[in-house]
Structure 1
Amino acid sequence: MLHLLIPFVIILYLSLTIAISFFHAKNPKIDFRGKNICLLIAHPDDESMFFGPLLCHLSKIDCQIFILCMTTGNYYNQGSRRVQEMHSACKHMFSRYNLKIVDQGDRIPDHASKKWDEELTKNIISAYLEQNSIQTVVTFDQFGISGHANHCYLNKIVKKYFSFVEVWQLVTVNRARKYIPLIDILFSLKENHLIIGSLRDYFRIFGMMLEHKSQLVWFRWLKFFVLKTPLFDDYEGSEFEYSAKEPRSDDILKKPATKAASLPSKAHLSNEQMKNESQIRSLHYRSVNAYARHVKLVNDYLIYYSGGKTLKEVFERDVSKDKTDLDVIREEMRFIWDQEDEPSTWEQRLAKKYYDKLFKEYCICDLTLFDQKKIAMRWRVEKEVLTGKGQFVCGDKRCSVRDGLKTWEVNFGYVEHGEKKNALVKLRLCPECSVKLNFHHKKKEYVKPAKVEKRKKKHTKLEDSESESDKEETKEEKKIKKEEVVDSREKISADGNMIVLESDDSMWKSTGVSEKHNEDKAREEEFEEYLEDLFF
């Protein structure tokens, strides 16, 4: 008798299921049209096992479906295979789908006894919601349907961090409804947010489940044929989303009865309000592009923190304290650096390096304010030395006269870093600039040292003495000398041969050498005079 009763119950159950699904296909009172909906699941095959009727319903209406799976289902080291199977199942249900499968290894593992990294899980879900502008999230309830710890943890994360979006959760039923499908059907028909699929939906869901070949074990087949049928999904709104529930008019007019002791403090309310506003603001900033975010932040800054300043005044950089290398040199420059003065800062080292490149034989002056006893001086640079400025050209900054230059020794007094100093310098000026230099009192003209003059006088005396001795020699003496010279060149030996003592070439060569020696000596004297004029 029992072996006949069991097939009869199974046939009756399937007949009732097919009849109800065929004649009473029911859509929920939840309006999903025109929304971006995210299905948040823990493992591949959850979408087929638990959310099949929902996916069939969403595929028929105008909405965007996004599926976020938090693990690869790698409990039995089949993660890569299960990922491919989930893609195949989504292709079987949708022509176009948006699927993201998270693979974080041990930080978000497929394991009922291992905890997930809460901060990482929150960040991944938050980024996915913001990236796709999700308005509604569908996930498990706090019991997780099958009681799996990963399913329950998803509900906990969503409730804790994502109160600013609309959340719907799949309801977990009691054991009687779960294991006696006929009772479940009777109770489910009264639910407002029940989704009942058609017979065609049944085969679509069955086809999705067949794609998960690695998961087709006996208890999953039991799910389809004996336990709660995949044609029934019952949803309820989350406890923090009030817009999903439609209150009656009596409830609106009726003031809720609350106890004074249960009222939260004002500080708690303000903190919750600030937290909620910050989450909404953060979601808004991340949902717009970078340019719109920049414009928003700039406008807010100008409104609240600018103090009445214009945009240019607020964002214009302060260049008053900017310095170039030339500015640093002007501040740290010294007219004369002593050998004992060692630079201690990089500014002083820069100024000392520039000072070492200057030429300090003669100065360049500026006589613009000569009538006010103000004369500016500086050392020459390499370009001025090459052009002769300050030595062969007038040393005034604006004068280019080359003739009639005079050398002046000037006791230059100046103020450097608040300290008065003096330095004896040399100037080469034209007559007109010399008048300007000596406008108030005459400066000392530089005279060549007496040693050079004595050398010149000695040289002139020698020349005079040589000329007088030449005049005293008579013509006869010159002839005698010539004969002696000829005799000295040649000497006849005893056997009649002539011996050449000195050739004409050697004679001319010796005279040439002496003349060259005299020329070198004259050049050396001129070079010594030039150096004495340069350094003394």
Structure 2
Amino acid sequence: MSQHDSRRAGESSSCSCSVFDGGESGAAVVTLVIAHPDDECMFFSPALEALRRSGVRTTVCCLSNGDAYGLGRVREKELQRSCETYGMARADVEVVEDKRLRDGMDEEWDPAVVVTHVERHCASVGTTHLLGFDEGGISGHPNHVACAQALVRLRSSSRPVWVQRTFGGPSQYLGALQLLLWHAFGRRKNGVVACTLATLVPALRAMRRHGSQLVWYRYLHLLLSRYVYINLLKKL
């Protein structure tokens, strides 16, 4: 085996995303449903990096442009650049424009409206699998929770839905320690997408594309958050 082949094999074993099977067609198309630009790299980086390394086409349906502070247009461009880090074409990254889906902790979204936009996106790209938040929304943000409620309505036998489990308390800040524990004890659990410490590199690279959001606690999140190192997915 050549050095290049050995390196590729090492990447595959350390960053696996086997839960996404293309079925009879053999060509999976995974759509990540998020509420705001930067959700993709803050909460789903291990899964996105695994999909990139596996050569699976991945698309993003972002339900708002994060315009809570008037930076919506800037954040749209930042999302495009961030997703390029994970090998996505710009045409596969959609930012929804709908006045009913405004960014904000006080904004309550109708899940039915979210469903309409996600269904349209899925039809346009040929989605075979959906990926997103669980009912806890990771951070409890109401916009995240609305996306989760929409995914429950969108699940079907022909288009599986996988969601990232929410962890509260200190366990969400175990970061690299959580990854080491998984390598030691959790390898046989289905639905786990874990990477080596090198996963931090694409997450940092993607987050740097979100220049308007780069404040000190974002870096702290990337260093400590379990979601940067490991995604524990469950099937709805």
Question: TM-score normalised by the shorter chain: which range applies?
Answer: 0.7 to 0.9
Give 1:212's aligned residue.
210
Give 1:194's aligned residue.
192
Q: Which runs of 5+ in 2 are unaligned?
A: 1-9
In structure 2, C-alpha distance between the alignment counterparts of 1:32 and 1:202, rounded to whole Å: 26
Give 1:235's aligned residue.
233
In structure 1, C-alpha distance between the alignment counterparts of 2:79 and 2:209, rounded to whole Å: 7
Give 1:94's aligned residue.
87
Structure 2 residue matching 1:160: 3-state secondary structure: helix
Relative to structure 1, the CA distance from residue 217 to residue 130 in structure 2 (aligned partners, 3 Å threshold; closer, same or farther) is: same
Residues 351-409 of structure 1: per-residue CA shift (max 9 Å, x gap): xxxxxxxxxxxxxxxxxxxxxxxxxxxxxxxxxxxxxxxxxxxxxxxxxxxxxxxxxxx
Give 1:36's aligned residue.
29
Q: Choose from 218, 221, 229 the match for 2:219.
A: 221
Residues 25-73 of structure 1: per-residue CA shift (max 9 Å, x gap): 2424414452111110000001111111111111122422111000000
Q: CA deviation at 1:224?
A: 1.7
C-alpha contact 2:15 2:50 (8 A) present in aligned 1 = no
Q: Choose from 128, 136, 139 the match for 1:135.
A: 128
Q: CA deviation at 1:121?
A: 2.3
Give 2:105's aligned residue.
112
Relative to structure 1, the CA distance from residue 188 to residue 236 in structure 2 (aligned partners, 3 Å threshold; closer, same or farther) is: farther
Matches within 5 A, 1:354-393: none
- Number of equivalences: 216
Give 2:5's aligned residue.
none
Give 2:173's aligned residue.
179
Give 2:68's aligned residue.
75
Q: CA deviation at 1:187?
A: 5.1
Q: CA deviation at 1:117?
A: 3.7
Residues 161-186 of structure 1: per-residue CA shift (max 9 Å, x gap): 44352000001123131134466346
In structure 2, C-alpha distance between the alignment counterparts of 1:51 and 1:99, rounded to whole Å: 15
Relative to structure 1, the CA distance from residue 224 to residue 174 in structure 2 (aligned partners, 3 Å threshold; closer, same or farther) is: same
In structure 1, C-alpha distance between the alignment counterparts of 2:179 and 2:84, rounded to whole Å: 30
Matches within 5 A, 1:308-319: none
Give 2:4's aligned residue.
none
**TM-score between both structures, scaled by the size of structure 2:** 0.82
Give 2:16's aligned residue.
27
Residue 155 of structure 1 aligns to which amino acid in structure 2? A
C-alpha contact 2:115 2:153 (8 A) present in aligned 1 = no
Relative to structure 1, the CA distance from residue 131 to residue 26 in structure 2 (aligned partners, 3 Å threshold; closer, same or farther) is: closer
C-alpha contact 1:44 1:86 (8 A) present in aligned 2 = yes
Percentage of pairs with the same residue: 24
Residue 32 of structure 2 aligns to which amino acid in structure 1? L
Residue 216 of structure 1 aligns to which amino acid in structure 2? L
Residue 61 of structure 2 is aligned to residue 63 of structure 1: no
Residue 137 of structure 2 is aligned to residue 144 of structure 1: yes
Give 1:513's aligned residue.
none
C-alpha contact 1:177 1:183 (8 A) present in aligned 2 = no
In structure 1, C-alpha distance between the alignment counterparts of 2:42 and 2:176, rounded to whole Å: 19
Relative to structure 1, the CA distance from residue 206 to residue 95 in structure 2 (aligned partners, 3 Å threshold; closer, same or farther) is: same
Residue 148 of structure 1 aligns to which amino acid in structure 2? H
Which runs of at least 4 in structure 1 moved beyond 6 Å after TM superposition? none
Residue 27 of structure 1 aligns to which amino acid in structure 2? S
Give 2:161's aligned residue.
167
C-alpha contact 2:111 2:146 (8 A) present in aligned 1 = no
Relative to structure 1, the CA distance from residue 116 to residue 60 in structure 2 (aligned partners, 3 Å threshold; closer, same or farther) is: same
In structure 1, C-alpha distance between the alignment counterparts of 2:30 and 2:87, rounded to whole Å: 15
Residues 282-321 of structure 1: per-residue CA shift (max 9 Å, x gap): xxxxxxxxxxxxxxxxxxxxxxxxxxxxxxxxxxxxxxxx
Give 1:47's aligned residue.
40
**TM-score between both structures, scaled by the size of structure 1:** 0.38
Structure 1 residue matching 2:68: 3-state secondary structure: coil
C-alpha contact 1:44 1:73 (8 A) present in aligned 2 = yes
Relative to structure 1, the CA distance from residue 59 to residue 114 in structure 2 (aligned partners, 3 Å threshold; closer, same or farther) is: same
Structure 2 residue matching 1:40: 3-state secondary structure: strand
Q: Which runs of 5+ in 1 are unaligned?
A: 1-20, 239-536
Relative to structure 1, the CA distance from residue 80 to residue 27 in structure 2 (aligned partners, 3 Å threshold; closer, same or farther) is: same
Residues 331-352 of structure 1: per-residue CA shift (max 9 Å, x gap): xxxxxxxxxxxxxxxxxxxxxx
In structure 2, C-alpha distance between the alignment counterparts of 1:229 and 1:154, rounded to whole Å: 18
C-alpha contact 1:26 1:194 (8 A) present in aligned 2 = no
RMSD, matched Cα: 2.3
Matches within 5 A, 1:288-299: none
Structure 1 residue matching 2:232: 3-state secondary structure: strand
Structure 2 residue matching 1:113: 3-state secondary structure: coil
Q: CA deviation at 1:141?
A: 0.5
